[in-house]
Structure 1
Amino acid sequence: MAFETETIEEPKDRLARLNGELRQASAQTVLRAAIIREWPGQLTYVSSFGAESVVMLSLISEVDPSLPILFIDTGMHFPQTLDYKDEVIDRLGLTGVRTIAPNETERKVLDPKNMLWKTDADACCGLRKVRPLEPALEGFGAWITGRKRFHGGARMNLPVFEYADGRYKVNPLASWTQADVDLYLEQRNLPRHPLVAQGYPSIGCWPCTQPAADPNDPRSGRWVGREKTECGLHVDRNERPRVF
């Protein structure tokens, strides 16, 4: 008696299928396909609750407001970010937000005075962002990001679907422009992060975030004076600098 075996789709084949099918699709269509069809119960969104995060959070709330959302509390967020997070959760009715944090024992050993950012920003991001996220992603086959090509740098060639470190990434807003973001915010009357009005178009931890130096580069206020352009969450594990 012959038994049918389930065909397992290889990552490269799945990426080719998804990017071929959904490369030009709307963010809403991409999200619905990811949440309902591709990774039901295995998908999360990692959100900083920063300058543009409310756009993706709003889109998600329209499909599944209970979707798991991971917020990394680095211990270095602006107070405005923490207040804004609570406002957005309440406004959108999000019920799946989980807060994750650095290992406190490790932090006390490696950064007892909370000044590591001054001497080694990569090590600080590794301690406070990258390593806390890895165990939090266990059990998820894919995660959503809010990255966009217009942010520049390594994001300029961002595909809608990626595969890295054994997990898929979904980038529904990859093709959005600043005008698209602003229009969506206006049409939905969504609350803006209070620091945006003070010249912060991209918002991370307070020690490494300043108002944008270049109005045409929304990330020009991040890690000013350093070669660093990414915190490490979206850098392949094998390409991250060794920090400890």
Structure 2
Amino acid sequence: MSEWAQPLSPSAKSQPANEPAERARELDAALRTASPPEVIAAALREVGRDRLALVSSFGTESAALLKVMADVDPAIPVIFLDTGWLFDETLAYRDTLIDQLGLRDVRSIRPPDADLDRDDPARELWFSDPDKCCFIRKVEPLRRALSPFAAWLNGRKRFQGGARAEIPVVEADGVRLKFNPFANVSREEVAAIYTLGKLPPHPLLASGFLSVGCMPCTSRADSEADTRSGRWQGRGKTECGIHTMKTS
């Protein structure tokens, strides 16, 4: 565990337990200008490693958060949602980053075959009902995967726009705390983490895929200013649901 994981202030564990919403407000106020390593260290102090998980898509900007996390504590559990529709390049990128960053506990979670056979027997929900497809392949599997945890980390950034433009650093997600260590970072700061950490880019980035999700619902971005413009093009959909539905 690195120096970042050492207490920056007295541990919150010594304080009386609060409801998640109230505690989230307190932490958000305290961490409003904190750096990503400081936010991750605070999350560790708040709930402990066994109760904290990082959720990563191993997408085009994922390596930056994973690098910062690994510098704090590479044994924090990482949850990866393998929907069954991911690009082979994403699966290979996951394996590359695990090796390069020394990640010790990456858990690849898939939707149960029984759920897919019941709800998507023809494997065409991505076309007929993309919201339901995301629900059975991402939202429900994540709910199950997060059940042992009291808090989770994710890589959303305000500069991504849309529903993400005003995310706090810490928020309540049902019974859990949700930490957004990169809420305040800029594109330039993300790029600097890649450069300084000698992080490899996602294999599809050079082909114009600025944000990568499932194959059927991912296209090349319309512009560099809107990195997520290639997701669910023409659908009026901008989020898969894991950040808009409570996971508990």
TM-score, reference length from structure 1: 0.92
Post-superposition offset of 1:215: 2.1
Q: Any stretches of 5+ residues in structure 2 without a counterpart?
A: 1-14
Q: Aligned to 1:19, what secondary structure does the other structure show? A: helix
1:144 is matched with: 153
Contact 1:76 1:206 in 2 (8 A): yes
1:207 is matched with: 216
Picking from 95, 98, 108, the partner of 1:99 is 108
TM-score, reference length from structure 2: 0.90
> Share of identical aligned residues, percent?
47
Contact 2:157 2:182 in 1 (8 A): yes
The letter for the 1-side match of 2:122 is K
Picking from 140, 156, 175, the partner of 2:184 is 175
Matches within 5 A, 1:101-180: 101-180=110-189
Looking at structure 2, the residues matched to 237 and 140 of structure 1 have their Cα atoms a distance apart, in angstroms, of: 14
Looking at structure 2, the residues matched to 91 and 176 of structure 1 have their Cα atoms a distance apart, in angstroms, of: 23
1:184-220 C-alpha deviation (Å, 9 max, x unpaired): 1011110110111111111100100011012210000
Looking at structure 2, the residues matched to 106 and 20 of structure 1 have their Cα atoms a distance apart, in angstroms, of: 41
Contact 2:52 2:150 in 1 (8 A): yes
Contact 2:25 2:171 in 1 (8 A): no
Looking at structure 1, the residues matched to 246 and 204 of structure 2 have their Cα atoms a distance apart, in angstroms, of: 31
1:225 is matched with: 234
Post-superposition offset of 1:18: 1.0
Q: Aligned to 2:76, what secondary structure does the other structure show? A: coil
User: How many pairs were matched up?
Assistant: 232
2:12 is matched with: none
1:241 is matched with: none
Contact 2:218 2:232 in 1 (8 A): yes
The letter for the 1-side match of 2:77 is P
RMSD of the alignment, in Å? 1.3
Large movers: runs of 4+ above 4 Å: none
1:21 is matched with: 30
Q: Any stretches of 5+ residues in structure 1 without a counterpart?
A: 1-5, 239-244
Q: Aligned to 1:224, what secondary structure does the other structure show? A: coil
2:46 is matched with: 38
**Larger CA deviation: 140-149 vs 206-215:** 206-215
The letter for the 2-side match of 1:44 is A
Bigger Rg over Cα: 1
The letter for the 2-side match of 1:179 is E
Q: Aligned to 2:54, what secondary structure does the other structure show? A: strand
